[in-house]
Amino acid sequence: DYAVKYWLSNGAPASKLVVGFPTYGRSFALKNPSDNGIGAPTSGPGSAGPHTKESGFSAYYEICTFLQNGAADTWSSVANAPYAYKGSYWVGYDNQRSFQIKAEWLKKNNFAGAMVWAIDLDDFTGSFCNQGKYPLISKLKSTLGIQGCSGSSGGSPGGSSGRTPGENSGDSPGSSSGGSLGGSSGRTPGENLGDSPGSSSGGSPGGSSGGSPGGSSGGSPGGSSGGSPGGGSGESPGGSSGGSPGGSSGGS
Question: Cα dihedral sign for 161, 164, 168, 173?
Answer: negative
pLDDT, one tens digit per residue, over 103-136 is 999 999 999 999 999 999 999 999 999 999 999 9
Look at residue 134 in the predicted model and tell me its pLDDT. 98
Q: What does pLDDT average to over the chain?
A: 73
d(CA 244, CA 176): 35
Q: Examine residue 71 and say whether the peptide bond preceding it is cis (omega within 30 degrees of 0).
A: no
Of 32-36, 120-124, 238-242, the range with the lowest mean pLDDT is 238-242
Look at residue 149 in the predicted model and tell me its pLDDT. 57
Say if residue 194's pLDDT is above 70.
Answer: no
pLDDT band at residue 159, thresholds of 50, 70 and 90?
very low
Q: Would you list the domain boundaries of the chain?
A: 2-182
pLDDT, one tens digit per residue, over 43-78 is 999 999 999 999 999 999 999 999 999 999 999 999
d(CA 27, CA 237): 9
Contact between 167 and 61 (Cβ < 8 Å): no
d(CA 21, CA 224): 20
Which of 147, 203, 235 is CA-nearest to residue 20? Answer: 203
For the domain spanning 2-182, the CATH number is: 3.10.50.10
pLDDT band at residue 7, thresholds of 50, 70 and 90?
confident
d(CA 15, CA 219): 26
d(CA 167, CA 64): 18
Which of 19, 59, 55, 56 is CA-nearest to residue 169? Answer: 59
Q: Is the pTM of this model over 0.95?
A: no
